[in-house]
Structure 1
Amino acid sequence: MRFLPADEGLQTTFREVMAGVATPVSVVTSMADGLPHGSTVSAFTSLSMDPPMVLVSLDRNSGLLALIRQAGRFGINILGATQSSVALAFAKKGGPGKFNGMRWNVDHGVPRLPGAPGWLACTVAEMVDGGDHVVVLGNVAVAETAAGEPLTYHGRAFGTHAVLDAVS
């Protein structure tokens, strides 16, 4: 599939529109040669309930994407409102060094960050090209949840969800 490059004005406006969309913040992880790798992503969502599936979008030049392609599995650590420092640490370039000073363990063959209110271990179902990114479709093998407010990203800033008063 071939995509035409967008003009600069459209890209700028599109970036502004997307900054206005609140998204969950997650760290996607995988293992290679016994070393953990991970990156912060906000392009993650559920896809299907039957079977349970998710999708995550990764830059096609991402080292993590290459590792997930090779390993065939990945983890999604859905971060909580108190984990913005974790999100920032994993948003940097750096391979397995991102895990330095972080608590983590291997769960179902992929790195897991304790304290995240949501955890999914997935196997790769399919990878779909999408412009400068690749959408990874994952079959959920394990799903766990814990108490905690979600970390969200909106307007280029971290925050969390607030419940509105019911309208009658």
Structure 2
Amino acid sequence: MTASVDPNLQTRFREVMAGVPTPVSVITCLGDGLPHGTTVSAFASLSMTPPMVLVSLDRGSDLLVMVRETRRFGVNVLGSHQAATALAFARKGGTGKFNGVRWEVDNDLPRLPGAPGWLACEVEALVDGGDHVVALGLVTAADTTEGRPLTYHGRVFGTHAALETE
């Protein structure tokens, strides 16, 4: 059951959330031998023992259908040089997102070379959350490379920079 929400509250909530910097990742899976993917900014570490993450997928997402079927997903934590990749995978519709994009198979999942972070995950649970579904993923493989992260804040892409401390 979905309660009606005050549109003014939704607007204020959207503004608050725009002020929260988030990592930008492309979630991927293989289905019917084809790569599928979508950009998300709702991704976080959940547990160290065992290693787990959570990813929020739009209830209408084509990728969610594939994740439900395959019970696996990859997390490509994008680098600051990959804003165009983030935009390409943010498009609605599941077809054509990999056109012109270099990718490889790692742990039977599509991996985007050049992304500073990579996780292969098995679905532990899918939890309903409003207009999204939260996928809880048990991490089965992890890899990192050098690179600054791509972040999203104030409705624009950016990256993290360390502050000087006294």
What is the TM-score with the length of structure 2 in the denominator? 0.98
- Give the letter for the 2:106 counterpart: D
Give the unaligned 5+ runs of structure 2. Answer: none
Instruction: Output the CA distance in 2 between the equivalents of 1:50 and 1:96.
Output: 36
Question: Within 1, Cα distance between the matches of 2:137 and 2:95?
Answer: 22
Q: Which amino acid aligns with 1:77?
A: N
1:36-59: per-residue Cα shift (whole Å, max 9, x none)? 000000000000000000000001
- Partners of 2:121 and 2:75 in 1: CA distance: 8
1:94-113 superposed matches below 5 A: 94-113=93-112
Query: What amino acid is the match of 1:89?
Result: A
How many Å separate the matches in 2 of 1:48 and 1:148? 24
Instruction: Output the CA distance in 2 between the equivalents of 1:13 and 1:100.
Output: 37
Instruction: Tell me, in whole angstroms, the C-alpha distance in 2 between the residues paired with 1:57 and 1:47.
Output: 12
Q: Provide the residue aligned with 1:120 in structure 2.
A: 119
Match of 2:9 in 1: 10
**Which deviates the most, 44-53 or 2-11?**
2-11
Structure-1 separation of matches of 2:4 and 2:99: 38
Residue 47 (structure 1) aligns with: 46
> Among the aligned pairs, what percent are the same residue?
67
Show CA shifts across 1:1-50 (max 9, x none).
Answer: x3313110000000000000000000000111001000000000000000
Aligned pair 1:157/2:156, yes or no? yes
Take 2:65 and 2:88, find their aligned partners in 1: how far apart are those partners?
Answer: 20
Counterparts of 1:62 and 1:36 in 2: how far apart (Å)? Answer: 15
TM-score (norm 1): 0.97
What stretches of structure 1 move > 3 A for 4+ residues in a row? Answer: none
CA contact (8 A) 1:35 1:96 kept: no
SS in 2 for 1:46: strand
**Deviation at 1:94?**
3.3
Matched with 1:24 is 23
